């Protein structure tokens, strides 16, 4: 029988989500309670870091999608037959 991991149990997933939401709510409330020593004006706005983090995350995902188009290799890139064909082509070019 396979070993059951922590997130295999739906109850554990619900607990983790509740903890996550609780931390988010606490940080949201803390944004109104604690004074920040901001160096830039925008850093003092309520919710600035949440918005900044969300926008940065979205930009990272969009950039990664574009990079994937450039860096992606074929499904058989590591296939032994393909490597042998490339190896043979290299030897024909040089000899």
Q: Can you give the C-alpha Rg of the chain in angstroms?
A: 25
Region 60-87 average pLDDT: 81
pLDDT in tens, 42-67: 888 888 888 899 999 999 999 999 99
pLDDT category, 83, cuts 50, 70, 90?
low
Portion of the chain with pLDDT greater than 70, in percent: 83
Question: pTM score, two decimals?
Answer: 0.54
Region 5-29 average pLDDT: 92
Domains of the chain: which residue ranges? 1-34, 41-95
- Looking up tokens 């860096």 gives 71
Q: Examine the pLDDT at 87 and tell me if it is beyond 60.
A: yes
C-alpha 80/C-alpha 13 separation (Å) is 41
């Amino acid at each position: 029988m396979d070993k059951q991991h922590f997130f295999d149990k739906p109850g554990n997933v619900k607990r983790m989500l509740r903890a996550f939401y609780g931390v988010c709510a606490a940080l949201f409330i803390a944004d109104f309670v604690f004074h920040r020593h901001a160096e830039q004006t925008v850093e003092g706005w309520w919710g600035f870091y949440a918005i900044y983090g969300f926008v940065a995350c979205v930009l990272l995902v969009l950039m990664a999608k574009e990079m994937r188009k450039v860096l992606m290799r074929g499904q058989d890139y590591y296939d032994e037959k393909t490597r042998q064909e490339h190896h043979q082509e290299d030897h024909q070019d040089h000899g």
